[in-house]
Amino acid sequence: MNLFYYSTLAGLLGAAFINGFTYLFRFIGVKTSLPWEIAANVFLAPHFIHTSSGVIIGLVGTIALSTGTALIIAYIIKWTGYNQAWLKGMLCTDAFGFITLGLFMKLLNVWPQIRNEPGTNLVAFTALSSLGIIQALLLKRWQKNLV
């Protein structure tokens, strides 16, 4: 039970990080799509994405993905040990990102313009790698509570 609690907590913190990190790059002028926009596009038609419902659905989507990633990291480091947890976290999020962004988005035709946004891809890769490191280090810190 604690594993799910701490994974959810790491997921919430991770979603805040990844959305804030990407927004920061957009704010400084990098042409990038925000994670919540992409997540909202999974469920909504493009003209609904920038509505209040679209923002909420997009944020819930990023929280769900971040929590799922944290849960995968928690299980991996629990099963394989806590040594080099940061590397295991980074590899998990990058693999999960390549599967979701590289495979499923293309198959489902979600946010097709991402192939024309090298800034989005570079920022996403950097954000996902950082997210994995942060989540793994948090989960390692909470390891005594993971059962």
Per-residue pLDDT tens digits for 88-119: 999 999 998 888 877 888 888 888 888 888 88
* Cα 40 to Cα 35, 52, 61, 73, distances in angstroms: 9, 11, 7, 24
Look at residue 1 and tell me whether its pLDDT is greater than 70. Answer: no
Are 65 and 93 a contacting pair, CB within 8 Å? Answer: no
For the chain, what are the domain ranges? 2-145
| pTM for the full predicted model | 0.89
Neighbouring C-alpha atoms within 13 Å toward the C-beta of 46: 5
User: How crowded is residue 127: how many other Cβ atoms within 10 Å of its Cβ?
Assistant: 23
